[in-house]
Structure 1
Amino acid sequence: MSALFSSEAIRSLLQSAAPLMLGSLGALFTEISGSLGIFIEGFMSLGSFFSWIFTGWMHSAFWGIFFTALLAALIGWALARFVHLTGANPFIAALAMNLAAGGITETLSILWFGTKGVLRNPAISLPKPLHIPLVENIPFIGNILSGNQPSVYLAWGLTILAAFVVGKTRLGLRLRAAGLSAEAASERGIRPERYREGAWAAAAFLAALAGAALSFRVGVYAPGGVAGRGWICLAAVFLGFRRVWGTLIAALVFALAERIGLGVQSFGALPATVVLGLPSALALVLYTLSNVVGRVKGRKKV
Structure 2
Amino acid sequence: MSVSRFFKKSSLVSQALQVRISEAAKNLNYTPNPIAASLASRNSKIIPIYIPYLRFAAIHYMRSINKVLQKQGFQNFLLSNDGITSEEKIFENILKWRPQGLIIVGNITSRNVRKKLRDIKIPLVETATNNPIDSFLGFDYQNAGARMAEYLIKEKYKKIAFVGTSLDSRALHTSLIYTGFCKTIQNSGMKISKLINYKENEKDNLISKSQNPGADSMSKILSSKQKIEVVVYADDFFALDAHIFCKKNNIQIKKDIAIVTFSGTFPATFAVTPSITSIDMDHKKVGLLAAELLVKKINNKNYQKINYIEPNFIIGGSA
TM over 0.5: same fold? no
TM-score norm. by structure 2 comes to: 0.20
State the TM-score, normalizing by the size of structure 1: 0.21
Higher helix residue share: 1
Larger Rg computed on CA atoms: 2
Q: Which has the higher contact order (CA 8 A, sep 6+)?
A: 1
Structure with more strand by fraction: 2
